[in-house]
Amino acid sequence: MKTAQSLQQWQSVRDSLPGTLGFIPTMGALHEGHFSLIERAQKECDSTVVSIFVNPTQFDEKSDLKNYPNKLNEDLQRLEQLKVDAVFLPNYKIIYPLDYRYQVQEKEVSSILCGRYRKGHFSGVLTVVLKLFNIVRPGRAYFGEKDYQQLRLIQDMVSDLFLSVEIVACPIIRERDGLAMSSRNLHLSTEERSLAPLFYKSLVEANGPDEAVRRLEESGFKVDYVEEYFGRRFGAVFLGDVRLIDNVAL
């Protein structure tokens, strides 16, 4: 497995990769959700590249960024076992040479759901994804429906900015008890972890968003929102300091 940190290293790795390049951008602390995207890319592409970059511009809370899990050594071991062809590990200066002077701003879908609660979040996401696409130059890029709003915004950005990458949407991978896999689950206490599956269950079982909110609040969740768009029901909740998101098709 090849690794690249600088742009120069990446260019020579990129030049050595044959055929269609499948790309999976991540923030690390990898789990089965990430691996499902990687396996799909390996089936559909000639070469597969993963990036690990905890993107500061998409964090609205400094403490959330500071506490974001870092498991770089384990991640690299797993990626090697999975036979990923290359890993791109840039730092802030490489991705933001002009310190976030240029930003991608979307004006509709980024202001609902998580965008309403996390100011600037989707500008950070879209900006870093555009930069990564320009550096990595993939033929296909793989994103999880776990972050469905993000996926839609990226699909629309690719179409509106005439980017030549195909976006592949991948289904949500869940724990056996229904909890959507997430790097943030690592921060749940034992008690919070045993409560967490109720989030998915309430999204699936409630007759409407209001009923889901009531059930979740009664069980001790702090609810940012449960709302329906695009034929799906979306939720964002806190268990202690840990923010969880999920969505289900209606």
Beta strands in 27-75 (DSSP E): 47-52
Task: Please state the closest distance from residue 147 (CB atom) to ligand AMP, in A.
Answer: 4
- The distance of closest approach from Cβ of residue 182 to ligand AMP in the complex, given in angstroms and rounded to an integer, is 5
Closest CA to 230 of 106, 109, 143: 109
Query: In the annotation, is 34 catalytic?
Result: yes
Number of chain positions touching ligand AMP (CB under 6 A): 17
Radius of gyration of the chain (CA): 18
CB nearer to ligand AMP: pick between 208 and 249 = 249
Between CA 123 and CA 209 the distance in angstroms is 27
SS3 190: helix
Residue with smaller CB distance to ligand AMP, 2 or 71: 71
Check: CB of residue 209 under 8 Å from CB of residue 227. yes
213 lies in the site for ligand AMP, by CB under 6 A: no
Q: Which structure tokens are listed for 105?
A: 């701003």
d(CA 68, CA 142): 22
In this structure, are strands 232-239 and 242-249 parallel, antiparallel, or unpaired?
antiparallel
Q: Which is nearer to ligand AMP, 16 or 155 (CB)?
A: 155
Give the residue with the Cβ less far from ligand AMP, 38 or 216.
38
Supply 242's token pair. 């840990």
H or E element in which residue 61 lies = none
- Residues 5, 11, 14, 15, CA torsion sign: negative
Contact (Cβ atoms closer than 8 angstroms) between residue 151 and residue 144: yes
- Judged by CB under 6 A, the residue of 95, 128, 181, 236 near ligand AMP is 181
Q: Which of 10, 22, 33, 47 binds ligand AMP (CB under 6 A)?
A: 33
Residue number of the CB closest to ligand AMP reads 144
Residue 37 interacts with ligand AMP (CB under 6 A): yes or no: yes
Binning the chain into helix, strand and coil, the percentages to the nearest 5 are 45, 20, 30
Q: Using the rule CB under 6 A, is 41 a contact of ligand AMP?
A: no
When binding is defined by CB under 6 A, the residue of 172, 196, 203, 242 that contacts ligand AMP is 172
The C-alpha atoms of residue 14 and residue 87 are separated, in whole angstroms, by 10
Task: Output the smallest distance, CB 181 to ligand AMP, in A.
Answer: 4
Binding mask 131-160 for ligand AMP (x = CB under 6 A): ------------xx-xx-------------
Toward ligand AMP, which CB reaches closer, 40 or 215? 40
Binds ligand AMP (CB under 6 A): choice among 27, 45, 86, 132 = 27
Q: Of the candidates 76, 173, 212, 239, which one interacts with ligand AMP according to CB under 6 A?
A: 173
Which residues carry out catalysis?
Answer: 34
Binding site for ligand AMP (CB under 6 A): 26-27, 33-34, 36-37, 143-144, 146-147, 170, 172-173, 180-183
